[in-house]
Structure 1
Amino acid sequence: MKKILFLAVFTMLLAACRGETANSGSGTSKNDQDKLEKANIVLDWTPNTNHTGLYVAQEKGYFKEEGLDVDIIMPGDAGADNLVASGQAEFGISYQEGITEARIQGVPIVSVAAIIQHNTSGFASLKDKNIKTPKDFEGKTYGGWGAPLEKAIIESLMKQDHADVGKVNIINIGDTDFFTATKQNIDFTWIYYGWTGVEAELRNTPINMVWLTDYSDKLDYYTPVISTNETMIKEKPETIRKFLRAVTKGYEFAIENPEEAANILIAAEPELDPDLVQASQKWLATKYKDDAARWGEQKLEVWENYSQWMYDNGLLEKQLDSKKAFTNEFLPES
């Protein structure tokens, strides 16, 4: 995850990015479409089950019911945070760590909903590597994307296990996936279990997981989230409410009907592996809301804990004002 240079000029890549949209869905006529308020949401990555609620809201007509015509846009090179920050997209898929860094740099993006209630990521390795604890990272090679955050988290976990991060060979493998990386002398990588871990199960590839949340409550942060910007909050609060009412219905549908929700995502993005989507959807169905009072709910203590951890580990130049980084104001009542 590259540190985002938010204050750069955004407009260079926007036209191409706006062209990469998913279908608006629901069989709406052109005249009806013209009457709807248009909005975009930019994904963080290629479509996957983190995004299913969006596709359900689109296909089931939940956006239309709220008077919205929503395009789901691929991130392109500009990235969701940049597009949302610059006002070129109304909404985006982001992460707590990305929004934290952005706000420290003075960029006014805000999280308005947590897609998944708890952090489902961790460090994965093939079972025959025998990496079961952070102590086992010593003498091994980690393949990542080159962000300072990665080494900080590895070091934090290893300290609790009285291990030395200096004995880990950390290399940048960019976007190389776990299965390819482990064939290229990489011992462990950081994955989201709901996609890559489930894929390992389908491949009958035994893996070990070192879960971040097993070692620190402060690493149980929101990832991913839905973001908007402060201008939207000030000028179009009702648009945000409408959008989140529709999206909430989409994720609630996915929670109650994972198989049908998976089929909606597969139909919209037919290049995806149907078996993986179905299995991943079933795994995530209980994770979206989990123990929260309602889908999307965020807690101040989660934002404060993780930003404090980032600050303590030298990843932030100053303390975050967590109360301005997120809001539950626009979520529908449970």
Structure 2
Amino acid sequence: MIRRTLLAAAAALGLAVPAAAQDRMALVLNWTPGPDHAPLYWAQQQGMYRDAGIALTIENGRGSGFAAQRVGAGQAQVGIVDSPVALQARAQGADLVAGMMIYVQSPYGIYWRKSAGIASPQDFRGRRIGTPPADAARVMWPMISRALGIPADSVSWVNIAPPAKVTSLQSGAIDITTEFYTSHHVYQRALGQDLGFVATRDIGFNPYGNAFFFNGAWLRGNRDAAQRFTRVTQRAYAACLANPEPCLAATAQPAAMSVEDLRVGWGLVGVLMTSDAGSTQPLGGMEPARMEQTIEAVKTAFNIPATTPAEVMTNELLDPAVPGFRGAAR
């Protein structure tokens, strides 16, 4: 208790915490580093986690399903996981609690080539969708296909590596792929006028998206450390929304991307982080009613046991003084 009090006091005063006194945390990303992770790398570069008493290790991910498994099993303290994937993982025993929402708007996008004879999702029947096995949209396909108005089993799946999505689509090795909206510009550049695209949030499927999910048991025993991590992260995202350039520069090397590409992607991140109209939640805050809708969609699609927003989320780790983001428009 004394140690936690001293750490909290030092963080509040902006004092650096000695390395020996720091709480060690592993954060597993949902994917390889990209524009949506820029605030994390910037905060790490600036020493913000260290100064808050957090010795943070950032691990590359391999999809939301992978991150949910690692965090749910206690192999990492926190991870970025797509909310519907996390809810399904919870039903299978993963101990996960959301502490900060990143994507208020659903990031799912579906991409195809018009020249392949696909005019709309109604033409997906009998086609091949290429994704990695743990791809979030693939896990959620029963819900997405329902929104598209096609049977879930009317398509076949091809396993491909994440970097192969665009080239596989271009070559015709696959007919369709799924991607988060933050990579929309990559597909526009590669396919031009041949690009076919639909965002699931525009067809009635708009669950909460990526969030920081904690291991529940760890959270219950380390709430102070979780709050310090969350508030640093919340302030970092707010700072990067206000002035993205330093954040993008800090991310270029770990992401192996140019600042120019990161800048375009970060603009799309802002679209997904935009608060719902009328919301009074701080940045990263979650509306219980909206989470209830996300829970109900997952429960209906996968026939999982009922749960409540109070069991899967908390806003108590956030700083209520950091306002939600309302500056992006679709």
Compute the displacement of 1:331 (Å): 0.8
Which consecutive unaligned segments of at least 5 residues does structure 1 have?
1-29
2:41 to 55, 62, 81: 55
Cα separation, partners in 2 of 1:87 and 1:199, compared to 1, 3 Å: same
Counterpart amino acid of residue 281 in structure 1 = W
Deviation of 1:227 after TM superposition, in Å, equals 0.9
Tell me the equivalent position of 1:23: none
Q: Cα distance 1:114–1:287, how it changes in 2: closer, same or farther (>3 A)?
A: same
Look up the match of 2:283: 295
- How far does residue 188 in structure 1 lie from its aligned partner after superposition? 1.5
Secondary structure at the counterpart of residue 79 of structure 2: strand
Whether the 8 Å contact between 2:84 and 2:140 is mirrored in structure 1 is no
* Cα 1:49/1:73, change in 2 over 3 Å: same
Matches within 5 A, 1:201-212: 201-203=188-190, 205-206=192-193, 207-212=195-200
The answer to whether the 8 A contact 1:92-1:228 is kept is yes
- RMSD over aligned CA atoms reads 2.8
Given candidates 76, 95, 99, the residue that maps to 2:86 is 99
Is the 8 Å Cα contact of residues 33 and 69 (structure 1) preserved in structure 2? yes
Matched, 1:66 2:52: yes
Give the corresponding residue for 1:246.
232
Equivalences for residues 277-316 of structure 1 within 5 A: 277-291=262-276, 293-313=281-301, 315-316=302-303
Distance across 2 between alignment mates of 1:272 and 1:243: 26
Is the Cα contact below 8 Å between 1:53 and 1:251 reproduced in 2?
A: yes
What is the TM-score of this pair, normalised by structure 2?
0.79
SS of 2:272 mapped into structure 1: coil
User: What are the within-5 Å matches in structure 2 for residues 309-324 of structure 1?
Assistant: 309-313=297-301, 315-324=302-311
| TM-aligned CA distance change 1:328 to 1:270, over 3 Å | closer
User: Greater CA deviation, 101-110 or 73-82?
Assistant: 73-82
Q: Which aligned pairs between 1:31-46 and structure 2 lie closer than 5 A?
A: 32-46=18-32
Aligned residue in 2 for 1:155: 145
Q: How many residues are matched?
A: 296
Indicate how the Cα distance of structure 1 residues 215 and 48 shifts in structure 2: closer, same or farther if over 3 A, else same.
Answer: same
Name which of 110, 120, 125 aligns with 1:123: 110
Q: Which amino acid aligns with 1:280?
A: G
Structure-to-structure mapping, 1:129-278, within 5 angstroms: 129=116, 131-145=118-132, 149-159=139-149, 168-176=154-162, 177-182=164-169, 183-195=171-183, 197-203=184-190, 205-206=192-193, 207-216=195-204, 219-267=205-253, 269=254, 271-278=256-263
Task: Tell me what 2:3 maps to.
Answer: none
Q: Does 1:330 align with 2:330?
A: no
Residue 110 of structure 1 contacts residue 325 of structure 1 at CA under 8 Å; is this kept in 2? yes
- Look up the SS of the partner of 2:273 in the other structure: coil
CA distance change for structure 1 residues 321 and 285 in 2, over 3 Å: closer, same or farther?
closer
How many angstroms does 1:80 deviate by?
Answer: 2.5
Contact 1:111/1:228 (<8 A) preserved: yes
Closer, same or farther: CA 179–60 of 1 in aligned 2, 3 Å = same
> Does the CA contact (< 8 Å) of 1:39 and 1:70 recur in 2?
yes
1:156 offset after TM fit, Å? 0.6
State the TM-score, normalizing by the size of structure 1.
0.78
State whether residues 17 and 50 of structure 2, in contact with CA within 8 Å, keep that contact through their aligned partners in structure 1. no
Q: Contact 1:111 / 1:225 at 8 angstroms: preserved in 2? A: yes
- Please tell me whether the aligned partners of residues 56 and 261 of structure 1 are also in contact (alpha carbons under 8 angstroms): yes
Deviation of the 1:76 alpha carbon? 7.0
Write the letter of the residue equivalent to 2:289.
E
User: 1:304-329: per-residue Cα shift (whole Å, max 9, x none)?
Assistant: 2233223323x133223332011111
Quote how far apart the aligned CAs of 1:142 are: 2.5
Contact 2:208 2:294 in 1 (8 A): no
Which string of whole-angstrom CA distances, capped at 9 and with x for unpartnered residues, describes residues 261-280 of structure 1?
A: 1111114x162344322221
Q: Work out the percentage of aligned pairs sharing the same amino acid.
A: 20
Letter in 1 for 2:96: I
Distance in structure 1 (CA, Å) of the matches to 2:61 and 2:107: 22
Q: Summarize the Cα distance change of 1:191–1:246 in structure 2 as closer, same or farther, 3 Å threshold.
A: same
CA contact 1:255–1:286 (8 Å) conserved in 2: no
1:41–1:89 CA contact under 8 A, matched in 2: yes
Larger relative helix fraction: 2
| Aligned-partner Cα distance in 2 for 1:97–1:325 | 11
Q: Do the aligned residues in 1 keep the contact of 2:106 with 2:206 (CA within 8 Å)?
A: yes
Q: How far is the alpha carbon of 1:212 from its aligned partner?
A: 0.9
How far 1:181 sits from its partner (Å)?
2.0
Alignment CA distance shift 1:301-1:174 (3 Å)? farther
Counterparts of 2:77 and 2:181, CA distance in 1: 29
